[in-house]
Amino acid sequence: MKEMTAKEVEALINEVKLLNIIDVREVDEVAEGKIPGAINIPLGLVEFRMHELDKSKEYIIVCRSGGRSARATQFLEDQGHKVINMQGGMLSWEGKIE
């Protein structure tokens, strides 16, 4: 499983890289703040919404601490998606939130 730190993701955003970020936290968690541009797909819905993801694109998967995103990353990788787990999740995030 490919992984990235929150600092690495923030650096890419600051370089104005177009990133595809999926936040797998629950709706109420995301309401408290998320990485700008991140799409919320709660972990329990990933299996049912993965058809919305383009297999030609790479996605960075985020959660609160890195556990749920690791599970989502492994699942999506097993389905043929290009995914990267953000280590430490939003607890490690020091960048902008929306």
Which residues participate in catalysis according to the annotation?
63
Are residues 4 and 69 in contact, defined by beta-carbon separation less than 8 angstroms?
Answer: no
Selection from 55, 30, 25 nearest residue 43 by Cα: 25
Give the SS3 label for residue 32: coil
CA distances from 96 to 33, 37, 42, 93 (A): 9, 11, 21, 8
